[in-house]
Amino acid sequence: MNRNKIVVIAGGLALVALFFYLDLGRFLTLESLKSNRQLLLQYHAEHTLLMVAVFMAIYIVQTGLALPGATILSLAAGAVFGPWLGTLYAVTAASIGATLAFLFTRYLLRDVVLSRFGSRLAGINRELEQRGLNYLLFLRLVPLFPFFLINLAAGLTHLRLRTFVLGTFVGIIPGGFVYVNAGAGLAQITSLSDIASPRVLGSFALLGLFALVPVIYTKLKQRNLITP
């Protein structure tokens, strides 16, 4: 491993260690967001562009390093920026962070990830290799698969970068909007479980199944169960 790779990995580990050493997770709670909402709104009104830049930078780092707090950040986006701009900022930042994790895995952490998660990622890797965009959309739309594991799995495959970026950005829009829109009505939320109701999760599952339709069709056709 060359020096540049070591420096990048060491920098990432240092950021993770700093996050937990300073207990920054205490700011990424529903209670903290509610108590600081007015302060955030005031700062946004006075420093709009800076607020957007700082928010997106925090979200990118959180996603890229798989730190806790994505749900709270999405709620914060809605509480501060509103549902539409909040969704744009949150989804864009999450996609950038996921892409960084994808690239880190592909070029820096391949051996480490394979030794740690290889058996858990084998099935996802195989489907991503064969099905590409459709399977990635399915993984992003159905909230059953940890976000960071999908980033790691995709980084181990030959999936094209542009396919990963497109599938991630499009695939997380529905879920992102649900949480950001909930954040716009922050006062009504008493628990994070109020957002991810069975009905909402079921809707995501249906969207994911629609993304798999071309894959299912291809498999049935290969087995001669469907004639052209």
pLDDT value of position 169: 95
pLDDT tens string 132-165: 788 888 888 876 778 888 898 888 888 889 999 9
Residue 202 above 60 pLDDT?
Answer: yes
CB atoms near residue 65 (< 10 Å): 17
CA angle 23, 96, 178 (to 5 degrees): 75
CA quadruple 218, 222, 123, 6: dihedral sign: negative
What Å distances lie between residue 3 and 6, 7, 9, 156, CA to CA? 5, 6, 10, 22
Amino acid sitting at position 69: G
Nearest to 74 by CA among 52, 95, 57, 89: 89
Structure-derived torsion over alpha carbons of residues 24, 175, 55, 185, reported in degrees to the nearest 10: -90
- What is the rounded average pLDDT for all residues in the chain? 83
Who's near 98: CB < 8 A, 6+ residues apart?
63, 64, 147, 150, 151, 164, 168
Give 205: exposed, middle or buried? Use CB within 10 Å, 0-12, 13-18, 19+: middle
Tokens 């939320």: give the residue: 189
**Token pair of 211, please?**
């993304």
Q: Which residue has the higher pLDDT, 69 or 186?
A: 69
pTM for this entry: 0.84
Q: What is the mean pLDDT of residues 157-174?
A: 89
Contact predicate 159/129, CB 8 Å: yes
Residue 162: closest CA among 102, 202, 118: 102
pLDDT at 38: 94
219 pLDDT more than 70: no
Give the mean pLDDT of 16-33.
Answer: 92
Q: Round to whole Å and give the CA distance between 15 and 60.
A: 13
Residue type, 33: L
